[in-house]
Amino acid sequence: MKVHIIPCLKDNYSYIIHDEANDYACVVDPSEANPIIDFIKKKNIKLKYILNTHHHYDHVGGNELIKKEFDAKVIGFNNDKERIPFIDIKLKDQEIWSSDNFTAKVFHIPGHTSGHICFHFYKDNFLFTGDTLFSLGCGRIFEGTYEQMFNSLKIIKSFPEETLIYCGHEYTSKNAEFCLQNDPSNSELIKKISKINALVKKGEPTIPSSLKEEIACNVFLRAKDVKMFSKLRDLKDNF
């Protein structure tokens, strides 16, 4: 399996998971249709599925046109089925979805939205976190509570350290500034920032990050309790 990063809109990332054995593909969080359609046609691969982590428009905006163009099936969370446009396959928390060599376990991770999920392609060590976990950051809390988001991040922390994190936005540089301000003596963070700066200088995505790096460097994952987490989240909201 290979993950192709597709920049969309201002700072969104959509992801095309390509099974090179049979040239099937699925797309995660298509912010808009045209970049996805163009990539699929250029590569001459068969797009089978559209996976949505949550209902926000910048993650589902391409659903309708992509579904129409490729007759792809839209996959989302059963509890959020009314808000996922053109949904076909409704998955439950901790359900394993497996089809056409793609296998992912779904986890309900509320906080950013009440129906947010992540897709863990555990055979490939890929985790698509939407707007719950970013590289060196986490999502704003719109529909959930601090405790829900804290517990959702604990779920993500439980995955193997070698897991690669594919998140919904390129926010890493700004997140790095915030982490450094709040954890200035973290040597692993300083090394991570050097790596980020090199990627930015070359005009390359800072994604994926590894879960090992995030546990070592991301202040939100390093928060010991809900009180510390909520304080950091409030500070970041005004950063």
Catalytic site positions: 54, 56, 58-59, 112, 131, 169
User: Who's near 139: CB < 8 A, 6+ residues apart?
Assistant: 111, 112, 130, 131, 132, 133, 149
Q: Convert 185-212 to b/e letters by CB count within 10 Å (16 or more is b).
A: ebeebeebbeebeeeeeeeeebbbbbbe
> DSSP assignment, residue 225?
S
**Burial label, 184 (beta-carbon count in 10 A; 0-12, 13-18, 19+):** exposed
Distance CA 74, CA 48 (A): 9
Neighbours of 224 (CB within 10 A): 7
Element at 37 (helix H, strand E):
helix 34-43
Distance CA 207, CA 180 (A): 19
